[in-house]
Amino acid sequence: MITASYHNHTTWSDGASTLAEMIDAARRAGLKELGISDHFALAPDNRRFTWALAPELLDAYVSQIQQAIAATKDLKIRMGLEVDYFPETMDLIRQRLAPYPFDYLIGSVHFVDDFVIDLNAQPWEGISQDDRNRMWLGYWQRLRAAAESRFFDIAGHFDLPKKFKYFPSADLTGHALGALDAIAAADMAIEINCSGWDKPVAEAYPTPFYLQEAHRRKIPLVINSDAHSASDVTRNFERARRLAVDAGYTELAGFERRKRFAYPL
């Protein structure tokens, strides 16, 4: 049974619902744990993103979640972040996040250099197939490097570039499997990200083949909604449970203070 949802965004980043509204939704859904993982991004050129938590608000973000943890007795609140991987700022990210008692950190790749992978379809529409191949390759390379940083607990939406149904014409399977190897070597978990079913690609991240390969490598699994509103806290969870069982999984991973534990699926 899926009793936790860890990939959730609030109005601290690009979510439409407040922390209190997300907690109420999780309670109504019968969850035992709710993780909050708003976007955190430190770009190498100091760009600010409207969809990410402003770095100067990190203290306030942590404080509000800690207050919710103390005040909520019928539901475990887990404190996390979805952290954008930029190789140039990893040292700074480590420094900025070190003082805080996070339960988990999701490592995600949304950019290959200046190319935005998932904001909308326009960047993909405006490039050649060769360039699409290069973006896919760059994505796999960055995802592997993110795992090799040994900084993250969960790999976010593993094959995200498929969101708008633009696929590589070259066979990059080996690079994708290399990213899975790095995730396994780093002792990270991977998520079934249920939001993919509601995107143009109309399937979860990752595709069943990569989920099966993750299981073969004994990579722990988390099932996440990637909710940006209270109504989506447990979206598509039953579909994800069936996908996980079909891939061979019998348990899911949870996190507390960066320590992983398992519970039955």
Q: Output the CATH code of domain 4-17+25-30+52-264.
A: 3.20.20.140
Q: Which residues contact 71 (CB under 8 A, 6 or more apart)?
A: none
- Please give the average per-residue pLDDT across 32-36, as a whole number: 98
- Please give the average per-residue pLDDT across 70-88, as a whole number: 97
Instruction: Give dist(CA 225, CA 39) in Å, integer.
Output: 15
The yes-or-no verdict on residue 206 having pLDDT over 90 is yes
Residue with tokens 């534990």: 261
pTM above 0.95? yes
The residue ranges of every structural domain in the chain are 4-17+25-30+52-264
- Please give the average per-residue pLDDT across 96-115, as a whole number: 97
Q: pLDDT tens for residues 130-170?
A: 999 999 999 999 999 999 999 999 999 999 999 999 999 99
On average, the pLDDT of the chain sits at: 97
pLDDT band at 1 (very low <50, low <70, confident <90, very high): confident
